[in-house]
A and B are shown apart, each in its own frame.
Chain A
Amino acid sequence: MRYDSITEAIGNTPLVRIDPAVHGLRNIDLYAKLEMLNPFGSVKDRPAWHMARPLLEGAADGDGTVVELSSGNTAKALALLAGMHGLKFKSVTNRMRVPEIKDLLLLLGAEIEELPGRSECLDPTDTDDPLTHFHQALSDPGSTYLHTDQYFNPRNVEAHAAGTGPEIVKDLDGKVPDWFIACVGTAGSSTGVARALREHDPRVRVLGLVAHKSDFIPGIRTIDEVHQVGLFDPATYDTIESVTSHEALDGMITLIRRCGLLSGPTGGAAYQGAVRHLRQADAELEDTGQRRTAVFIVCDRAESYLSYVRQRRPELLGRAGRGHSASALTDAEVRESARVIGVDEALRWTTTGEPRPLVVDLRSPHAYAALHIEGSVNIVDELFEDLLRGGLPFSKRTPVLLACPVGEKSLRYAAALTRMGHPDIRSLEGGIVGWRDAGAPLVRE
């Protein structure tokens, strides 16, 4: 394969059969359309290119900013496309709740504007709605904004009606699947694919999946939110069902660990929603000798969602404990092993001790810089925890005074270091707060 531009690599993604041993459906062949293998990483590469292309060609003088209300994949594709054409890209959203995606967009050179949360005190006369401002700025005569408008732009749908849908038919040897399953975000992929499939064979059944109302699955909408999408038409779907983030993660783990598909949460949601929905139909097909097919879309890849996973399923990313750790100690162990020293005695120790102790301040560098005990060194607690794993970070001949804000964390570390064999580690009782309250000196340098 040889291309002149990366945009030529958009589309023609594989359709991969899911092993029946994994999904357990006996009479239905389930296929995954791997949109995650598009060059910018998601199903959104197609509409982003199709929507942006005319705008980019029209703005060949290199002046202007592509803008979109996007929390992730569309923004990613548009940022890259804009960059290739020498333009800037700005994403406006209040849904970007996954830090990696934000960082990735910044890496791509995007500018992000996050919309504020809702007002606590209701003001019915409020005209300061940021979305209104956004649309006003767009329609400003002097504006150089190129708005792709993915929630209302028919080219979003066309990209899939002309690409994704026909590719599925082609890969099924000219046949249309009996079920097509897609998550609904802008409704572009589900609407476009459904249109192409129905033109071939109107008997296809289309299942749209939305996020459970009180839940959050990055990239897809809840049933209320889809009503705000211009491309959404309930008639597109034979069924609309909701999935929870829990199900999405279950599905994602199955696709990753058992199928070798490095899917993100919406792919997981589509898989899990599909299997849940098809189980009944599968049972009805039993002993009829008939076989059916179903296709779902894997929208994007797992890597951008690690903190989403960490937040909801920390055990999936659990680091096995290794080496020494202060956080592993029980309260009883801490009490038994740690030595504390009061402010008065600590003052004497730090000024006239033979030898003087090394004072270690465990707070963050910024707080340390603002005010600290004269002569102390700053090792922020997270770093200190890592140091301990490797062994004692101080010579046994150096006495050490540990200080944290209120003497709680330092107590733990004192206990851990004592158990590791250091003979003279003490924790400052009451911490830096206690030190300050006792009128002992703090300096900024």
Chain B
Amino acid sequence: MDAPLYLRPRVDPPLASLLRAGTFLHSLVDALGSPLNVLLPETVAENARRFRAVYSRHRLTGRVYFAHKANRSSALVRRLAAEDVAAVGVDVASLEELRHALSCGFTGDRILATGPKDAEFLWLAARVGATVNLDSPNELEQLSALVRTHGLGRVAVLVRLSGFESADGHGGAGTRLLSRRSRFGTPLRDAEELLSALERNADAVELTGVAYHLDTTGVEEKVRALEQCVLFMDTCRARGLAPRAVDIGGGFGIGYVAEAGEWERWTTALSEAVLGSRPPLTWRGHGYGLRNEGGTVRGAVALYPGHRPTAGPGYLDELLSLPAPVLGRSSANLLLEHLHDLYIEPGRALVDQCGLTLARVLDVRLADADSGHHLVRLGMNAGDMSLEEHGVLVDPVLLPRGKPEEGEEGPVGVFLAGNLCLEADLITRRLVHLPRLPRPGDLLAFANTAGYAMDFHAHRAQRQPFARTVAVERQGDDDWRWCPDEDYWPIPSPGGTSA
């Protein structure tokens, strides 16, 4: 066999010490079943503080809004509700998320309602004094009508903009930064219509800021959008409106793989495998978007950049430090000098290191005799833990049931299959390398699944059990307490069960 192509996960404390608490994790799965999601609420608060530290470094004011869609947990939302009210809020994208945030202790003034909205969602957001991030002039009219009909107070709104690439329209020679088209937001070229709608409905809504969310890892595009927002705020002011906040959305990202070298070796090997100059690394030679056209690799690799040198707060810092293309100052300076507040909506990045998903090994057998690779069937399916679907490639951590036997074999390549009788139900299409062959009863722990992977796609197909979710807290050195996610409150409690 070739040298094992590991993609070992980045695990910081306290997730690292939780992974060392194998007996505790086994006892949890014994009691609550496989799969099981385990969350560390304290880490979400720590992450919020890291983002705040970037604000402080740039002397910026404003709020960090948790993009709730990343995880449905109560423990995480409640833990954030306990943070400084001026510093931390929540971004809800549905009526149910709004209700959940309220029930977890967020007051309306700390809530930002984003995403596609129906009348019920708009009404409740307006009723509780949330800020509504408006997607279109249409939504603005709908909200204003609700406010008037139901005698609600004036609602604070942000307007979400898009289409920044065509904003500084050069004729002929010039630079145009292309952007992926977005379904959301009002294109800047329709800003006039938006402004008159805001003026027309000034009795019902108050413009408090301008927003964007771009689905890209490219900081340049985001800096350009940020600057266009600052320029637009100026136009708003000239029209007598008084917005204060620029909301730059989420998408700060996570580095999933610990070592750059492992990520580089694996992706290079993928290209080589696609070209046929080495054996496949994937189930049936799947190329993750790459294909071989006459000896040249074509296509774009559909993978999350597993190792990211800057992600999360570091990415925010980079974005804020980059000079704006028109005005030249760093984007942090731009905000600061124009006296604007900064809002961000991190989802994935705020739940970095906040949890893991456990699955029990049910069965291990040889996938085919030629390759020597094994197929490991797990007590979960691809919907329970959708790292692969999000293009995130990272190895699970093997938590043996007992002590490994003497002289047990070294690294093995395995494919991970789920518990549905569908050919497609693979947990990974990638050959995963483990330090040794798992045995039935062992656990595999998928680290860093709290951002989207944990329950974004979970479904009740074949009546398999849903993953339950628990919150854990460290008590002293190697002692852990746990409680069901729904029973977690960020206050000292007599409840919870010690390991």
Contacts and interface: CB of A to CB of B under 8 A. Distances in A.
Interface in B201-247: 215-221, 234, 237-238
Nearest to B174: A111
Contact of B176 (A88, A112, A118, A124): A112
Contacts of B175: 102, 106, 111-114
Interface string A223-240: 110011110110000000
A124 to B, nearest CB: 6
Given A119-B180, A124-B302, A228-B297, A112 B174 contact: yes
Contacts of B329: 364
Contacts of B221: 116-117
B173 A114 contact: no
Task: Give the size category of B's interface with A.
Answer: 35 or more
B403 interface: no
A405 B260 contact: no
B304 A367 contact: no
Interface stretch (B123-131, B333-341, B480-488, B491-499): B333-341
A406 interface: yes
A116 B181 CA distance: 10
Dominant SS among interface residues on chain A:
loop
Contacts of A406: 59, 336
A377 interface: no
Dominant SS among interface residues on chain B:
loop
B267 interface: yes
A160 interface: no
A110 B173 contact: yes
Interface of B: 59, 61, 172-181, 215-221, 234, 237-238, 251, 253, 260, 264, 267-268, 271-272, 275, 289, 295-298, 300, 302-305, 309, 327-329, 333-334, 336-339, 348, 389-391
Interface stretch (A126-134, A251-259, A292-300, A316-324): A126-134
A111 to B, nearest CB: 5
A119 B216 contact: yes
Q: Pick the most buried of B174, B179, B221, B336: most chain A CB atoms within 10 A of its CB.
A: B336
B296 A114 contact: no
B54 to A, nearest CB: 16
A174 to B, nearest CB: 34
A110 B176 CA distance: 11
A213 B302 contact: no
Interface of A: 88, 94, 102, 106, 109-122, 124, 126, 128-131, 213-214, 223-224, 227-230, 232-233, 363-364, 366-367, 370-371, 405-406, 408, 432-433, 436, 444
B238 to A, nearest CB: 8
A113 B178 contact: yes
A22 to B, nearest CB: 33
A111 B338 contact: no
A213 B178 contact: no
Contacts of B289: 124
A122 B390 contact: yes
A233 B297 CA distance: 12
The 7 closest A-B pairs by CB, nearest first: A117-B218, A367-B337, A122-B391, A363-B337, A405-B336, A120-B251, A117-B216
A116 B180 contact: yes
A115 B176 CA distance: 9
A227 B172 CA distance: 34
Nearest to B269: A224
Given A121-B390, A130-B180, A433-B336, 5 more contacts: A118-B217, A128-B180, A213-B268, A223-B268, A432-B337
Nearest to A432: B339
A214 B339 contact: no
A130 B178 contact: yes
B275 A227 contact: yes
15 contacts: A102-B175, A106-B173, A111-B175, A113-B176, A114-B176, A116-B178, A120-B348, A122-B302, A124-B391, A227-B271, A227-B297, A232-B296, A405-B333, A433-B61, A433-B336
Nearest to B182: A128
Given A106-B173, A117-B217, A128-B180, A122 B59 contact: no
B339 A371 contact: yes
Contacts of B339: 367, 371, 405, 432-433, 436
Contacts of A112: 174-176
Contact of B237 (A109, A128, A214, A444): A444
